């Protein structure tokens, strides 16, 4: 939709008379559609995020206790991520790794199984016993509901990358930063980490170009079986 507005702007610069009036009418009509769609999504995220947060509080307490009993260290893992248009924010997750995980990552780079700019290992030795279960069921992502309520993330949208990954993005890859990042996305319900990085980008761009409330609801419905099956989660 944003590309359509840009195209209309270019045509407006060289048009006159009735043709210009028609283009202006189209432009404002699309602005109303885009603005209305974004407003609906923001309300959906705020209300849905608040409901999810309140409903998840008992689970939060249980998981916090289990994580603390399983391994030393904080319950939450805070990490800087890149949001819409390159804006940085602090993303919250339940800790699933040892506290020295970032230091050990340098020793494990050569074992990267994801390809592209993402680092993933199916048998990552840094992951704790409880952490492996949390990742399998995506329960480690639950605290990101806080990011949704704060307006930093959306319920559905491209997953937020870390700055080091974005530093290696091509101009085409950066298109996935045009939308607010989400808890779940199109490629997560299509295979998750088993999907190559290039395909993840293309699915994120596909979502951005066709996004709607209905599409968000469909992705949410597909998220449930994807999480229960645990395919591609590691």
Burial 86-96 (b: 16+ CB within 10 A, else e): eeebebbbbbb
How confident is residue 213, by pLDDT bands cut at 50, 70 and 90?
confident
Q: What is the pTM of this model?
A: 0.76
> pLDDT tens for residues 156-182?
999 999 998 999 999 999 999 999 999
- Give me the chain's average pLDDT, please: 82
How confident is residue 226, by pLDDT bands cut at 50, 70 and 90?
confident
> pLDDT tens for residues 9-61?
555 555 655 655 665 555 555 444 544 567 778 888 999 999 999 999 999 99
How confident is residue 125, by pLDDT bands cut at 50, 70 and 90?
confident
The DSSP letter of residue 127 is B
Closest CA to 176 of 222, 117, 218: 117
| pLDDT value at 64 more than 50 | yes
Question: How far is Cα 211 from Cα 188, in angstroms, rounded to an integer?
Answer: 16
Residue 106, CA atoms < 13 Å, CB-side half-sphere: 3
Q: Which secondary structure element, helix H or strand E, spans residue 35, and what is its range? A: helix 17-70
């Amino acid at each position: 939709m944003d590309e359509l507005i840009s195209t209309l702007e270019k045509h407006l610069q060289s048009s006159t008379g009735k043709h210009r009036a028609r283009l202006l009418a189209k432009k404002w009509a699309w602005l109303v559609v885009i603005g209305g769609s974004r407003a609906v999504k923001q309300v959906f995220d705020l209300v849905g995020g608040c409901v999810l947060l309140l409903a998840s509080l008992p689970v939060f307490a249980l998981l916090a206790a289990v994580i603390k009993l399983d391994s030393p260290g904080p319950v939450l893992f805070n990490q800087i991520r890149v949001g819409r248009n390159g804006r940085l924010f602090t993303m919250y997750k339940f800790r699933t790794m040892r506290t020295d995980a970032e230091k050990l990552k340098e020793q494990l780079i050569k074992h990267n199984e994801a390809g592209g700019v993402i680092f993933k290992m199916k048998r990552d030795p840094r992951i704790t016993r409880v952490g492996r279960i949390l990742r399998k069921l995506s329960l480690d992502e639950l605290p990101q509901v806080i990011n949704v309520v704060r307006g930093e993330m959306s319920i559905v949208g491209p997953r937020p990358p870390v700055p080091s990954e974005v530093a290696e993005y091509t101009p085409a890859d950066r298109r996935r930063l045009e939308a607010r990042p989400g808890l779940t996305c199109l490629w997560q319900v299509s295979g998750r980490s088993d999907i190559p990085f290039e395909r993840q980008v293309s699915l994120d761009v596909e979502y951005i170009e066709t996004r709607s409330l209905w599409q968000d609801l469909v992705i949410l419905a597909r998220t449930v079986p994807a999480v229960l099956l645990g395919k591609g989660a590691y």
